């Protein structure tokens, strides 16, 4: 995965030049949020709606298609909207897990065209500020010696994104995911409260939600699960990879299209996103929506998703979630 970083000077130059660039001529562009208004899918479509405005000839309209945490939309675009070149659909890493676990029916990742990302968040290994753990190595050593000695918790059941982060750590420590002593909570807020209250020792959360707790001094992040070190306010926090553990978890948000979309229509959308990525305005929109810059489109995104799916399937199989 590649995190797009462009210097401020280049951002400004490209931003000033943007009005003169050709806009993608997309007839009645639509972003489908596969859920009710509010929440992550809605947020993802709003990034497209606002961020693409200077780069498409017509405004992007947001519509909602709730059902099955994305399953209804996935099936819709695999049946009667497979060649709809005007519509894109929001997805997240959670959608990829649902595909693997069979929650989207018989269709898989090869039945859509992966288009572009809206941005990303990254996993984090979090402990209380006064925890006995001062490094990721200490946690990994304890997991290796006795997995049951470390109480890990997060906002999601077995098979969820947050559980997957802990499963990756457990596997890197030499064990299997099902050896992990994991406590599931209804959401990140409950898991954070449990961490602060001492019910769990390690929280496998997300970087983006940690800012207020770092500022208050209540928690410390021992590692981010990003491919490379993040910028402020996380610049001083090492990645797991820096510390010798090949663990990465990127919570991607992005868009797909029907598998029969023409190359011409698909490229119009790719061009629009690439133009947006090259501006500081899009970076600002990502920041306002609580996303970190992860700008991938077209073939680069498809390759990234294929690699991610292979790894997720391996973990899910090891955990007995799929046969």
Q: Does residue 31 lie within any of the structural domains?
A: yes
Residues 213 and 293 in one domain: no
Q: Does residue 245 lie within any of the structural domains?
A: no
Number of domains in the chain: 2
Beta bridge partners of 182: 152
Residues 91 and 160 in one domain: no
Residues 141 and 212 in one domain: yes
Residues 126 and 98 in one domain: no
Domain extent for 43: 8-120+250-318
Q: Does residue 230 lie within any of the structural domains?
A: no
pTM of the model: 0.73
Q: Does residue 239 lie within any of the structural domains?
A: no
Three-class SS of residue 24? Answer: strand
Q: Residue 110 maps to which CATH number?
A: 3.40.190.150
Beta bridge partners of 217: none
Q: Does residue 141 lie within any of the structural domains?
A: yes
CA dist 195 and 154 (Å) reads 9
Q: pLDDT by residue for the chain (323 residues), tens digit each?
A: 333 333 333 333 333 333 445 788 998 999 999 988 877 889 899 999 999 999 999 999 999 999 888 999 999 999 999 999 999 999 998 899 889 988 899 999 999 999 999 999 899 999 999 999 999 999 999 999 999 999 999 887 788 888 989 999 999 999 998 899 999 887 778 888 999 999 999 999 888 778 788 888 899 999 999 989 988 788 899 999 999 999 999 889 999 999 999 999 999 999 999 999 999 999 999 988 878 889 999 999 999 999 999 988 988 887 788 87
Residues 13 and 78 in one domain: yes
Residues 25 and 53 in one domain: yes
Domain boundary among 186, 206, 224: 224
């Amino acid at each position: 995965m590649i995190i797009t970083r462009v210097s401020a000077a280049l951002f400004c130059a490209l931003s000033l030049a943007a009005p003169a660039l050709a806009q993608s001529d997309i007839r009645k562009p639509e972003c489908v949020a596969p859920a009710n208004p509010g929440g992550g899918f809605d947020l993802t479509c709003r990034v497209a709606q606002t961020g693409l405005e200077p780069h498409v000839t017509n405004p992007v309209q947001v519509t909602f298609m709730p059902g099955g945490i994305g399953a209804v939309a996935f099936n819709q675009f695999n049946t009667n909207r497979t060649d709809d070149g005007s519509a894109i659909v929001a997805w997240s890493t959670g959608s990829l897990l649902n595909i693997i676990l069979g929650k989207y029916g018989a269709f898989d990742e090869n039945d859509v065209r992966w288009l572009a990302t809206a941005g990303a968040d990254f996993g984090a290994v979090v402990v209380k500020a006064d925890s006995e753990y001062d490094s990721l190595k200490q946690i990994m050593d304890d997991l290796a010696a006795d997995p049951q000695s470390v109480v890990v918790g997060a906002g999601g059941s077995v098979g969820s994104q947050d559980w997957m982060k802990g499963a990756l750590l457990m596997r890197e420590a030499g064990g299997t995911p099902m050896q992990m002593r994991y406590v599931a909570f209804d959401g990140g807020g409950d898991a954070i409260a449990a961490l602060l209250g001492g019910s769990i020792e390690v929280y496998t959360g997300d970087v983006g939600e940690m800012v207020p707790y770092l500022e208050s001094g209540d928690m410390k992040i021992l590692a981010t699960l990003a491919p490379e070190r993040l910028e402020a306010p996380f610049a001083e926090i090492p990645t797991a990879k820096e510390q010798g553990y090949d663990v990465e978890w990127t919570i991607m948000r992005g868009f797909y299209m029907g598998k029969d979309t023409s190359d011409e229509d698909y490229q119009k959308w790719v061009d629009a996103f690439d133009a947006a990525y090259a501006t500081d305005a899009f970076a600002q929109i990502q920041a306002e929506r609580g996303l970190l810059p992860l700008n991938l489109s077209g073939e680069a995104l498809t390759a990234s998703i294929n690699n991610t799916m292979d790894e997720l399937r391996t973990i899910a199989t090891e955990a007995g979630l799929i046969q």
